[in-house]
Amino acid sequence: MEKTEHRAYPEPTPESLLTAYRKMVVGRRFDEQATALARQGRLAVHPSSLGQEACQVGAALALRATDWLFPTYRDCVALVSRGIDPVEALTLLRGDAHCGYDPLRHRTAPQCTPLATHAAHATGLAHGERLKGADTVALALVGDGATSEGDFHEAVNLAGVLKAPVVFLVQNNGYAISVPLAAQCAAPALAYKGVGYGVRSEQVDGNDTAAVLAVLTTAVEDARAGGGPWLVEAHTYRMAPHTSADDPSRYRPATEAEHWQGHDPIARLEAALRERGLLTDTDVKATAAEAEAYAADVRERLATDPDLAPSTLLDHVFSSPTPHLREQRAALLAELEGR
C-alpha cells in the first residue's frame, strides 16, 4: 500500500462509548434471541453477527439521522442500533416481505442478500444526494466475501472517480461462508483493494469499539466535507455459524473460535470502561436487564403468525405499477378468489 500521511483519529467521548456499550449488549441479546427463534421455526433463517457488535454499532453511531445505511442480511444489529423496530428488522428473515421497515423513513436501504449489489446503490445515492446539494453520506456494510464480487469493484471504482461521499465498511470476519480469506484473496489485506481505485483505505481492529468509532466517524465526516470515499477494513470474527443452518465445525477448528472469544468486543469495552471508572456493577446489571426486556418483547411479538395478504407480493416493485405488474396482480387476485 502506498505511503499516506499520518492521521490522528479523535478519541471517542465517554458518552459515545457508554452508548455503544449499551447498544452492543442489547444488540447481542437481540441476536441471540433471533437465533433461538430460527431454531424454533419462527424465522426461516438467521445470520448471526455474534462477535461483530463493535462494527455493527459503530456503523450506526457514526452516521447522522440524515445519512443512509446500506446493510446486508447479517446486519440486523446495525438496524436496531439505528432505531429500527426489531420485528421489522427480522421481517425479511421470517419471509413476510422483502423489507419490513420503511427505507425512506429510516434512511436505511433494504437488507441486501446478493453479495455486494448494494455497494453500487450506496455510491449512486451518495453522488445523487451531493448533486442535490445535500450533505448526506452513505455507508455500505460488506463482508470479506463481497470484496471478491465484481459489483464491489465497480462501486468502489465509481466512487473514486466521482469522489462520492460514501464509506465502505468491510467486516472481515475471516470467512466467506466456509471459504477462508487466504483462499479468496492474495492481497496482504482487503484495504489494499481501495488503493488501486484512488480511495482512502484504512484497517482497524474491528473488535476495538473505540478504534472503530474513531475511524468510522472520521471517515464519514471527511467524506461529508468533500474528502471523497473511504474503504475501512475492520478485522473481526464471526463467533457463530454463517447462518442458523450452518455447521462451522466442518471448516474451522474449535480452537479458533475459542481464541477469538478472548477478543470479545463487549468484554473488551466493558473492561476499558470499568478501568476508567465509567461503568459500575450496577450499570452492567441495568444494561443486562434492559437487554433481556428487549429480547422478551421480540420473543412475544414474534410468537404469533403474521396476517399477510398475498396481493401485497407485487407492492413496492416500482413506484408506478407497470402494465405487466397490473396483469400479474389481476391474475393473482383471480386465482385467490377462485380457490
The partner residues of 61 in beta bridges, in order of sequence, read none
Does the active-site annotation cover 101? no
Q: Which three cell numbers stand for residue 115?
A: 453479495
Question: Which residue out of 82, 130, 200, 242 is catalytically annotated?
Answer: 242
Question: Which residue out of 7, 39, 64, 251 is catalytically annotated?
Answer: 251
Q: How far is CA 127 from the centre of its chain?
A: 21
- Determine the Cα–Cα distance for residues 49 and 31; give it in Å rounded to an integer: 7
Does the active-site annotation cover 238? yes
Q: Which three cell numbers stand for residue 195?
A: 488503493
Does the active-site annotation cover 299? no
Which residue in this structure is represented by grid cell 443452518? 245
The partner residues of 169 in beta bridges, in order of sequence, read 141, 232
DSSP alpha helix (H) spans, 90-174: 91-94, 103-106, 117-131, 150-162
- Determine the Cα–Cα distance for residues 230 and 169; give it in Å rounded to an integer: 8
For residues 215-227, b (16+ Cβ closer than 10 Å) or e, as one string?
bbbbbbebbbeee
Q: Looking at the annotation, which residues are catalytic?
A: 238, 242, 251
